[in-house]
């Protein structure tokens, strides 16, 4: 069976098979692990220290070269702002309201000033008419050239900045969100069938994969409107395509009670290019929106799982320590960036449930474990909730408690797919099918019970992801509670309990 992947950058990279990463028969290498049952913010960054190369950015610099619009001024449900809409950068043109069109130094009509052109002989009317016509033609040609140039620039910016657009053109017309005030995203009709039952929700805005970056503020606002009725916490996987700023701006405009765990998806083979790029956009988002709605910054997702090769399943092997040697400096650099801003935000790491390297966990404030009963040998859907709780406690919580820093542990992902794109992957390793009925069983047996037990988890996931289905096939794109068009899947009933 194809391994579950969250990696949008390296789809063909070989890694350990997830069919085996929940094998509980192998002895874990972690010492002490139990095997028993269960809006613009005036911040002034300073030079940051750390092993990475970090250059502080100005507080008012754009998020990246590809996106420079001011998210805080956008409201896709209201009237577009009258100025600087779609401009490449603030200050790219003069403020017309401040131009003095009749300068005080211009001589008055009827008064003689030595050297004034008002009293110079005028050209014959015929020649003057010809010059007027020629000047008009030249002017029209100039205007046309400028218009074409502006059109090219705007078109280029629109392509690169469509994720920041205030247009709702990319939003599905059959959205289930009913706006009670089209000009105010905070006013929308709540669905009586939705309950804030989930401790947290895993979320990736549609169109957040480079290089296309097809996400938009309008779409993210609708996602936040729905998710705010289900949870008060969400987690992201990466920061490309300005998804950090989009989510924080959507939370601001909808005025919902929501915290987001931002993500930095680190790639081992790109000389830290992806990490540096995402770190800087996260920094800009913090400078713009502050920290009130940020629960943490997760550096790396399934990094060790992806790094291990040739069947190696030991995260604390020499190869696992090589992964740590790459990731720990990035974690330290993220802390240095936050220190340069004078803010305190927890920094963590996410990986497959039995692939945490001790050196990485010792460097973070929290760990996020992907715990999927779908990939566990012999686990049916009826036993999936109990298995998830046992595995998380034994493999992750117990491990964290043996470390000197005792990092907080979360379940980063858990859920059940509703279909498979091919017959070969239609059943779990325990023999239960991917189905809506299976997802409902897991919802009914896990969500409220986990809340009562104090388990902190992010349910996987908000909505189906079409790009994963196209890229990976199998069950990869079909884990959502909702279809990609934001309609709740037919047959799904949200548990009726309140998350902590």
pLDDT tens, per residue, the chain with 500 residues: 333 344 444 444 444 444 444 544 333 344 433 333 333 333 333 333 333 433 333 333 333 333 334 455 555 444 333 333 333 233 322 232 333 333 333 333 333 333 333 233 344 445 455 555 555 565 555 555 444 443 433 343 343 344 444 433 333 444 578 999 989 999 999 999 999 999 999 999 999 999 999 999 999 999 999 999 999 999 999 999 999 999 999 999 999 999 999 999 999 999 999 999 999 999 999 999 999 999 999 999 999 999 999 899 999 999 999 999 999 999 999 999 999 999 999 999 999 999 999 999 999 999 999 999 999 999 999 999 999 999 999 999 999 999 999 999 999 999 999 999 999 999 999 999 999 999 999 999 999 999 999 999 999 999 999 999 999 999 999 999 999 999 999 999 999 999 99
**Catalytic pick from 66, 249, 302, 476?**
302
**Catalytic pick from 413, 461, 465, 476?**
413
Report how far residue 130's alpha carbon sits from residue 27's, in angstroms, rounded to the nearest whole number: 94
Closest by CA to 456, choosing from 498, 497, 415, 408, is 408
Q: How deeply is 93 buried, as exposed, middle or buried, from its count of CB atoms within 10 A (0-12, 13-18, 19+)?
A: exposed
Query: What are the φ/ψ torsions at residue 350 (nearest 5 degrees)?
Result: -125, 140
Active site residue 302: yes
pTM to 2 decimals? 0.72
Is the bond preceding residue 461 a cis peptide, omega within 30 degrees?
yes
Task: Evaluate the CA torsion angle 63, 69, 70, 72 in order and state its sign.
Answer: negative
The three-point CA angle 439-441-446 to 5° equals 95
Q: Tell me how far CA of residue 426 lies from CA of 15, 212, 406, 444, 488, in angstroms.
A: 22, 30, 39, 21, 21
Active site residue 20: no
């Amino acid at each position: 069976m194809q391994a579950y992947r969250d990696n949008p950058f390296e789809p063909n990279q070989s890694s350990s098979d997830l069919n085996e990463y929940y094998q509980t028969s192998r002895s874990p290498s972690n010492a002490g692990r139990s095997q028993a049952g269960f809006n613009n913010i005036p911040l002034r960054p300073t030079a940051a220290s750390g092993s990475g190369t970090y250059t502080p950015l100005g507080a008012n610099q754009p998020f990246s070269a590809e996106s420079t619009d001011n998210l805080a001024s956008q409201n896709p449900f209201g009237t577009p702002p009258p100025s600087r809409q779609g401009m490449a950068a603030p200050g790219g043109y003069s403020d017309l309201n401040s131009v003095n069109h009749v300068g005080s130094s211009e001589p008055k009509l009827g008064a003689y000033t030595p050297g004034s052109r008002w009293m110079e002989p005028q050209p014959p009317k015929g020649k003057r008419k010809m010059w007027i016509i020629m000047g008009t033609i030249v002017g029209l040609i100039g205007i046309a050239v400028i218009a074409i140039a502006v059109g090219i620039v705007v078109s280029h910016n629109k392509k690169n900045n469509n994720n920041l657009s205030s247009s709702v053109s990319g939003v599905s017309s059959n959205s289930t969100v009913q706006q009670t005030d089209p000009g105010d995203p905070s006013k929308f009709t709540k669905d009586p069938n939705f309950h804030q039952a989930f401790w947290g929700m895993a979320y990736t805005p549609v169109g957040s994969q480079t290089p296309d970056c097809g996400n938009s503020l309008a779409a993210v606002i609708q996602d936040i409107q729905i998710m705010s009725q289900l949870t008060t916490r969400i987690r992201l996987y990466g920061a490309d395509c300005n998804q950090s700023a989009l989510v924080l701006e959507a939370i601001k405009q909808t005025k919902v009670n929501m915290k987001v765990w931002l993500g930095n998806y680190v790639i081992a083979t790109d000389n830290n290019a992806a990490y540096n790029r995402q770190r800087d956009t996260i920094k800009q988002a913090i400078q713009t929106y502050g920290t009130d709605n940020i629960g943490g910054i997760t550096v790396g997702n399934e990094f060790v799982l992806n790094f291990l090769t040739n069947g190696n399943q030991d995260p604390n092997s020499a190869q696992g320590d090589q992964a740590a040697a790459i990731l720990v400096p990035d974690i330290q650099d993220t802390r240095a960036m936050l220190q340069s801003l004078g803010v305190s935000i927890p920094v963590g790491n996410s990986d497959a449930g039995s692939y945490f390297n001790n050196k990485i966990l010792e460097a973070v404030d929290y760990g996020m474990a992907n715990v999927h009963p779908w990939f566990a040998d012999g686990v049916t859907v009826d036993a999936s909730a109990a298995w998830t709780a046992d595995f998380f406690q034994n493999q992750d919580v117990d491990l964290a408690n043996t470390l000197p820093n005792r990092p907080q542990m979360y379940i980063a992902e858990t859920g059940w797919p509703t279909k498979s794109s091919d017959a070969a992957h239609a059943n779990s390793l325990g023999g239960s099918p991917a189905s809506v009925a299976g997802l409902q069983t897991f919802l009914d047996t896990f969500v409220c019970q986990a809340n009562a037990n104090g388990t902190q988890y992010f349910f996987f996931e908000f909505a189906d992801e079409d790009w994963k289905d196209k890229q990976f096939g199998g069950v990869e794109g079909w884990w959502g509670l909702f279809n990609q068009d934001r309609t709740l899947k037919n047959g799904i009933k949200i548990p009726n309990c309140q998350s902590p």
